[in-house]
Amino acid sequence: MPSPLNPARKKHRFGKAWMHEHVSDPYVKEATRRGFRSRAAFKLLELDARDRLLRPGITAVDLGAAPGSWSQVLRERLGAHAKIVAIDLLPMDGIPGVMVLRGDFETDEGLFAVDRALGGTPVDLVISDLSPNLSGIDVADQARSIRLAEAALDFARSRLQPGGDFVVKVFQGTGLEAFQRAVRPHFDKVHLRKPKASRDRSREHYVVAKGRLPAE
């Protein structure tokens, strides 16, 4: 008998459609084969192939890292001598060679934990694949996504050494152009990228900022 809250069972059918798309997705299959925790790994790999972000031995910080696929890519590409710090509010299984922290990088406690893990090492790369908890209200969700991107930018500005790079997820919509303008004064080059691994229907893009300029 159909639920009185969903007489047409539309949600159920949507769930089946999503699951079919998910299990047949070539990126999902390849992520499983290679041991990545999610298909998002290929977004970072594509960005690296285009913008040369991942250099062996650098120091990198992954903001909002759970479930950890971007940190896995960092560990794979940066090598054993790199320093990698990952932080998220959600629990995340450990990754050999990655210092995994549970906390909020927008708080003093979270920032202190990251700085302690870095131990004074200058940062070469800051990445963030963070998405807000979606409410389904486009205006509110877009505002939350821009706020997260701004928080990641504040972190990058305060901790990247000159020449360092910054990657952050953004969504097409109100506030994106203003955010890009806020990034440009602090980096030599700023690009807006949409990797092929991002689903066509997704509004997600990535701001890739290369070459942190000396602090003002």
Residues 62, 71: Cα–Cα separation, whole Å: 7
Let me know if 169 is a catalytic residue.
Answer: yes
Q: Are 114 and 84 in contact (CB under 8 A)?
A: no
Query: Using alpha carbons only, how large is the chain's radius of gyration in Å?
Result: 18
Backbone angles phi, psi at 140, to 5 degrees: -70, -40
Which secondary structure element, helix H or strand E, spans residue 88, and what is its range?
A: strand 83-88
Residues 94, 206: Cα–Cα separation, whole Å: 26
Residues 18, 177: Cα–Cα separation, whole Å: 31
Of 83, 169, 189, 196, the catalytic one is: 169
> Could you list the active site residues?
169
